Structures are given as structure tokens and as C-alpha cells.
Copies of this chain bind each other. A is one copy, B any other.
Amino acid sequence: MSADVQHSIMLFGDSLTQSVWKTGMNSFGAQLAHVYARKMDIVNRGFSGYNTERAIPVFKQVFATREQQKHLPTVRLLIIWFGANDACLFHSPKHVPLAKFASNLKYLINLVQSDRSEYYSPNTCIVLATPPPVNTYQREAVLRSRKPPLQLDRDFETTRRYAETVKDVAREEGVGLVDIWTKTWDAAGHDERTLSNYLHDGLHLNGAGYQLMYDAVLETIAKTYPKLHPDNLEKVFPQ
């Protein structure tokens, strides 16, 4: 029962979000929490293994209803980061068809932005993040080493199309975008094998990858929602 004195940033996503506190990985979550110390709290609502289908019912529990919002700290920024599981290949139970993925993202945005929604929150700014690119070589090697060996569950081109869809949805809905797919791809010199510099298993970001993510998030905040940039926020309690 910490009192409602400080607003928050909610990170909502899959394992890429759940892992943001990991140290030894340039902890994206800790860096964010540090620059927002005494300004905003970072609330991690990352759920390993989740796709957007499973995310929707959980979002309705972790995001406050209009009635609940009266008593709770305001989520000033909501970063929605899915796609890494939705983009699983057709044979995987995690697979969500591309059109359904797009409509799920729109549905989540609508829950917060529509004044007819029970979760309507006009003071919440939304940012969508793309999934990082997949390194098929690295991913395949990891899955082959499992006992029993597993077949490839994601590929470069499919995830690229899910990342493109996130960008389309962000543009259509007029919300912020963190395009970590492109940032990582550019950093790797458009070479799939070189992506291993930013991914630890062909799918999840390593420390260098999370550093790109941190930089990209701050850049998007500065560009899209400058009032929420840490440099433009006062401390809740003075020195």
C-alpha cells in the first residue's frame, strides 16, 4: 500500500519484458528505473511465453478499470511489446495469425483509448515496440542442443513481417513506436549471423541488445511524448 504519490510506466509484454531486470545484461529495466528515480515507478508486467491472445485477458486484470483508477497511481506511459511469440511458425501453439496479431494490438490500444472502454485512461500515452529480429542460425543451434532436439519455431522473415505489422498499427493508431527490430538489424549491418552480437539465443536480447532497447525507448519518449522524458519531469519530493 504505497500511496498514490508517483506515476508509473508500465511495461507490458512477453519474456523480453519479464527479463528486463536481469543484471549482467545492461539491465534495461534498472536503467529506466534509475533515470526515473523519484519521478516515475517502473511496473513490469512481462509474461514469459505469452502472445497477444493470452495477453488480452491478463491486461484486463493488470490495468485498472476507470473505477479503480480513482485510487491508484496513473500509468503515464504504457509500452506494449509483443510479437516474439505471436510470430512462432504455424506448427507452434504460440502462433497467432498476422491479421489477428494486428487486431489484438488494436484491441489493447482501444481498451485504453476509447472513452466507451471500462479501461479508458486518457492520461496514458502508449508506445508499441516491435519484436527483435530472429537469428535463425543461432536459434536453430540452441533448439538442436535441447534434449530431445526441437525443430525451428521461428524464422527471420516471419518475425520481420510481425515487426512491420507493429509499425503499421502504431502509424494507423497514432501511438508511439520503438522499432527495436530495425535498430538491431541496422546495428548488425543487415547480416543475420551478426545478430548474435545482440541476441543471446537467436531470439532474446543480450546486454548489447537491451542497451539498444533502452536508447530507443528514451529516443521515442523524447520525440513522441517529450513531457514524459526524465529530463522534463520534476522530482516528486524535493532534494
* A37 contacts chain B at the CB level, 8 A cutoff: yes
**Interface 1/0 per residue, A28-41 and B, CB below 8 Å:** 01110110011001
A48–B58 CA distance with the chains assembled, in angstroms? 36
Are A68 and B8 interface neighbours, CB within 8 A?
no
Copies of this protein, total: 2
Are A38 and B30 interface neighbours, CB within 8 A?
no
Are A33 and B29 interface neighbours, CB within 8 A?
yes
A64–B32 CA distance with the chains assembled, in angstroms? 25
Interface size on A, residues (CB 8 A): 48
Q: What is the minimal beta-carbon distance from A121 to any residue of chain B, in angstroms?
A: 6
- Knowing A21-B34, A30-B27, A33-B21, say if A73 contacts B41 (CB, 8 Å): no
B-side contacts of A29, CB under 8 Å: 30, 33
What 7 A-B pairs have minimum CB-CB distances, sorted nearest first? A71-B71, A30-B30, A1-B64, A21-B34, A1-B69, A21-B33, A3-B64
A27-B27, A68-B71 given; name 20 further pairs at CB < 8 Å: A1-B63, A1-B64, A1-B68, A1-B72, A1-B73, A1-B74, A1-B75, A2-B10, A2-B43, A2-B45, A2-B72, A3-B61, A3-B63, A4-B72, A22-B34, A37-B46, A38-B47, A58-B237, A61-B237, A72-B72
